[in-house]
A and B are shown apart, each in its own frame.
Chain A
Amino acid sequence: MAIDLETLSIKSLQASLKRGDFSVRELVERYREIIIEKNPSINAYLEVFDDLESEAVRVDNAIGNGAELPLAGAPLAIKDNILIEGKQVSAGSKILAGYRASYDATVISRLRHAGAIFLGRTNLDEFAMGSSTENSAFGVTKNPHDLKRVAGGSSGGSAAAVAMGGALGALGSDTGGSIRQPASFCGVVGLKPTYGSVSRSGLIAMGSSLDVIGPFAKSVSDVELLFKVVRGNDPLDSTSLPHGSYGEAHPAPKTIGIPRTLLESGSMDASVKSAFESAEKTFLERGFEIIDIELPHASHALAAYYIVMPAEASSNLARFDGIRYGLSKNGETLLEVYQKTRGEGFGSEVRRRIILGAYVLSAGYYDAYYGRAAALRGYIQNDFTSAFKKVDAIMTPTAPTPAFMIGEKTTDPLAMYLADIFTVTANLAGIPAISLPYGSALQNGSTLPVGIQLMAPHTREDSLFVLGKALLGEE
């Protein structure tokens, strides 16, 4: 029978498979056809896996045997910085050329046990460093809503894969906005979970105190479903939250705070402003209370972020040296092997952040930069703690603008960094945040999606799901 992919969700898929409307094998074949048709112009996927049929048959058989799998047959796209055993993984970089993962990331084994199918690996800014996927060594991912525009980044491939109808859901990683900003640009839902709620084992590290893996999908319900499968304590990640962190039930959220002073400092596009005002109105109509709040230090979050993140990234990327895996350039001495491999293997943004990280960590500058940024991070977290005594969630736009043109910001790194102005605060504080597609922007004849961001206290993703469903009108 024909499968209506427009209305299909991970949730509704479970009922369809049980009724026998179609098989996982038929579903996966449909997705493969869509990817073959659309990917050449969008470049969301770097590779479509060649074992789709056998994986689909495996899940069909499990369903036939009566297995209860929460994500049975769900076709997912995986950001190419998450390891799947035996598959290539590039992190969008030349430096990992030819490398195949030697183990599964914890999120991958959790999803597989839940019955999910991995369609392929998706494009990203090199080592997740960027806000547009223009830093990928494998070409830019184009926005499915306007091919002249970026899909956002760094998880642009995952967001575009869902937006173009080439996956029902996807995984990305978020260090400063890398799930939420592309979700906003592509018109899908994207969740950055609480730091430590989802294991980082098998995620290629960028900023270890900021990184978190999270889901994309077409609806809040599907994002919730994916999150509940991937979260949980993992002994392989020492920063993983302890068992029971999500045990108790909480009262539904009622109040939403808006940091008006912060919004004014973000130079918001008029279309984003109007979408934001309309979201505010919708929440009021649906019985929620809106309260003005202050986050006094949040306007300095981006500055603190661009100290902490490169410092951690420069340390993490020291392991790519041409000796143990990936690219290796020949040299006369060991030092030359290192220098040539890293000089040629890393792209310009990665080199920029490594040098910046080395600078802020160097003797004589450590206290001035890293020390102060760490202190500021503490102030920002205190701001949130105070705000969450008054409100259940905080609302901002996800990004100050809708998707920008390809090439618009590539010559000015600082302008690119400003795309993350509303998202980095949640990473610095470790709190969960979601981007919801709401409203649209008309720019040069294209209708583009706009994203609304909601943030909640640690481990209170439940509030984000309730509010997200209320805003988007999901059951």
Chain B
Amino acid sequence: MFEKDTVKKLAQLSRLLLTEAECEDLAGELGSIVAYVSEIENVVGERAGDAGAPLSKNVLRDDRNAHEPGMYTQKILDAAPDKERGFFKVKKIL
């Protein structure tokens, strides 16, 4: 069972503006998807912690060999919808 209010909350966290009707539909669809994926509860149960080393781990790039500052600035800004003096321009925050 998936509540419409849960969808609304998740949509807000995900920065998605949805209509009431969309939230309604999603609640139904997600209800059946979550019911389906919940079968793993019976397979893994409380054993989740004892699967040994986790298969996935974060792999991060070494923080070295940085490129020269400004090298890609123009190229990246060219794609931006709104910019000013070498910066992305956004709505006032405070």
Indicate if the CB atoms of B30 and A378 lie closer than 8 Å: no
Indicate if the CB atoms of A413 and B33 lie closer than 8 Å: yes
Chain B residue numbers with a CB within 8 Å of A362 are 10, 13
Indicate if the CB atoms of A306 and B33 lie closer than 8 Å: yes
Chain A residue numbers with a CB within 8 Å of B50 are 375
Give the docked Cα–Cα distance between A344 and B37 (Å).
28
Give the docked Cα–Cα distance between A331 and B91 (Å).
8
Q: A323-B88, A334-B90 are in contact. Are A355 and B30 (CB under 8 A)?
A: yes
Chain A 351-365, CB-CB to B under 8 Å as 1, else 0, gives: 110111011101000
B60 at the A/B interface (Cβ < 8 Å)? Answer: yes
Indicate if the CB atoms of A376 and B30 lie closer than 8 Å: no
Indicate if the CB atoms of A100 and B79 lie closer than 8 Å: yes
A87 at the A/B interface (Cβ < 8 Å)? Answer: no
Indicate if the CB atoms of A300 and B39 lie closer than 8 Å: yes
Give the docked Cα–Cα distance between A327 and B81 (Å).
8
Indicate if the CB atoms of B34 and A359 lie closer than 8 Å: yes
**Pick from B18, B56, B90: contact of A343, CB under 8 Å:** B18
Q: A102-B75, A337-B90, A358-B10 are in contact. Are A307 and B40 (CB under 8 A)?
A: yes
Closest chain B residue, CB of each to CB of A353: B33
Closest CB-CB distance, B42 to chain A, in whole Å? 9
Closest CB-CB distance, A395 to chain B, in whole Å? 24
Indicate if the CB atoms of B56 and A334 lie closer than 8 Å: no
Chain B residue numbers with a CB within 8 Å of A1 are none
Q: A351-B26, A355-B11 are in contact. Are A323 and B81 (CB under 8 A)?
A: yes
Indicate if the CB atoms of B36 and A303 lie closer than 8 Å: yes
Chain B 14-57, CB-CB to A under 8 Å as 1, else 0, gives: 11111000100010011011101111110110011111111110
**Pick from A343, A346, A355: contact of B26, CB under 8 Å:** A355
Closest chain A residue, CB of each to CB of B32: A414
A106 at the A/B interface (Cβ < 8 Å)? Answer: no
Q: Please classify the interface of chain A as helix (H, G, I), strand (E, B), loop, or mixed, using the class held by over half of its residues.
A: helix
A280 at the A/B interface (Cβ < 8 Å)? Answer: no
Indicate if the CB atoms of A379 and B51 lie closer than 8 Å: yes
Indicate if the CB atoms of A343 and B91 lie closer than 8 Å: no
**Pick from A337, A377, A378: contact of B91, CB under 8 Å:** A337
Indicate if the CB atoms of B37 and A306 lie closer than 8 Å: yes
Q: A238-B60, A307-B37, A324-B79 are in contact. Are A376 and B15 (CB under 8 A)?
A: no
Give the A interface residue count (CB, 8 A): 63
**Pick from B7, B14, B80: contact of A325, CB under 8 Å:** B80
Indicate if the CB atoms of A374 and B51 lie closer than 8 Å: yes
Closest CB-CB distance, A38 to chain B, in whole Å? 33
Indicate if the CB atoms of A334 and B93 lie closer than 8 Å: yes
Give the docked Cα–Cα distance between A359 and B7 (Å).
9
**Pick from B59, B79, B91: contact of A99, CB under 8 Å:** B79
A425 at the A/B interface (Cβ < 8 Å)? Answer: no
Give the docked Cα–Cα distance between A314 and B55 (Å).
20
Indicate if the CB atoms of A324 and B13 lie closer than 8 Å: no
Indicate if the CB atoms of A102 and B79 lie closer than 8 Å: yes
B61 at the A/B interface (Cβ < 8 Å)? Answer: yes
Closest CB-CB distance, B59 to chain A, in whole Å? 4
Chain A residue numbers with a CB within 8 Å of B59 are 238-239
Q: A324-B80, A414-B36 are in contact. Are A377 and B43 (CB under 8 A)?
A: no
B1 at the A/B interface (Cβ < 8 Å)? Answer: no
Indicate if the CB atoms of A324 and B88 lie closer than 8 Å: yes
Q: Which residues of A contact B (CB under 8 A)?
A: 99-100, 102, 209, 235, 238-239, 297, 300, 303-304, 306-307, 314, 318, 321-328, 331-340, 342-344, 346, 348, 351-352, 354-356, 358-360, 362, 367-369, 371-379, 381, 413-414, 417
Q: A102-B76, A348-B22, A413-B33 are in contact. List 19 more A-B contacts (CB 8 A).
A: A102-B79, A209-B56, A300-B39, A323-B80, A323-B81, A323-B88, A325-B79, A326-B79, A333-B91, A334-B90, A336-B91, A343-B18, A359-B30, A374-B48, A376-B43, A376-B51, A378-B53, A378-B54, A413-B29
Name 16 A/B residue pairs within 8 A (Cβ), A-sorted: A99-B79, A102-B78, A238-B61, A303-B36, A306-B33, A323-B80, A326-B79, A334-B92, A343-B18, A355-B10, A355-B11, A355-B16, A359-B30, A374-B51, A374-B55, A378-B52
